Amino acid sequence: MKRVYIPSSGPSAWQAFLAKPELHWRTGYSAKTLAYCWESAGGLPPEIARMFDAPAELLLALPEYKVPLPGGSTQSQADVFALVRHADQTCAAMVEGKVNEPFDKTVTEWLNVPSDGKKLRISHICNLLGLSEQHLPQVRYQLIHRAASAVIEALRFKTDEAAMIVHSFSPDRMWFQDFAAFVDLFGLTAEPNAGVVTTLPNGLKLRLGWATGDARFLLA
């Protein structure tokens, strides 16, 4: 993980950090849409700010942020890692940008070949989030490892809470039900454009939210 970061020169600077820069940087898709939205905001996009208690302030945003997880070399790579100050709290937030892209494999599909590394990783994630493996089979793996990465960084930065927020630009809210199923694991009910909060076994608060992005950035 790099420790030195260079200030952004604009939305196009985000492209270089993508896993496949030429393939993933396309108008109407999440990577480019998200970059133009966040750069245009000059702080937190208003729909993201509404996920937090007012007033909410962006302290730092890092695109394509990687967090190591045990059980292999593949890291959890968030579209945006944001340190947010809201009310009298600080939050380490992972933001997952979407247009119509799915959340990829379910936990069952990801564990199709259950290596020792995968078993170690899923056990670690469950311990962090206070979840039982038996409740995960049809939940999207991307959602649980992204939430776990938020918790890892919240503990590392010693923030008051962690957050995992889906920043969706889909006019039809595609894949919202997958997000709602994930939130249901914590005994909570997901609603578009509203944040919900749970307290993890280690006492850390975890904030989950689905924010609807401004559709004009789909044309960027």
Cα gap 169→36, rounded to integer Å: 12
Q: What is the pLDDT of residue 1?
A: 65
Render the burial of 122-136: b for 16+ CB within 10 Å, e for the rest: bebbbebbbbeeeeb
DSSP-assigned states of every residue in 61-111: EEEEEEE--SSSSPPEEEEEEEEEEETTEEEEEEEEEESS-----BHHHHT
User: At 220, is the secondary structure helix, strand, or coil?
Assistant: coil
> What is the domain count for the chain?
1
Stretches in the chain below the pLDDT threshold 50: none
Let me know if residue 3 belongs to a domain: no
Q: What is the pLDDT of residue 206?
A: 98
Say if residues 211 and 56 touch (Cβ distance below 8 Å).
Answer: no
pLDDT digits over 38-47, tens only?
999 999 999 9
Say if residues 79 and 63 touch (Cβ distance below 8 Å).
Answer: yes
Q: What is the pLDDT of residue 3?
A: 80
Let me know if residue 18 belongs to a domain: yes
> In which domain, by residue range, is 37 found?
11-219
Let me know if residue 5 belongs to a domain: no
Cα gap 147→93, rounded to integer Å: 9
Cα gap 131→200, rounded to integer Å: 9
Let me know if residue 4 belongs to a domain: no
Let me know if residue 168 belongs to a domain: yes
Say if residues 52 and 46 touch (Cβ distance below 8 Å).
Answer: no
Let me know if residue 154 belongs to a domain: yes
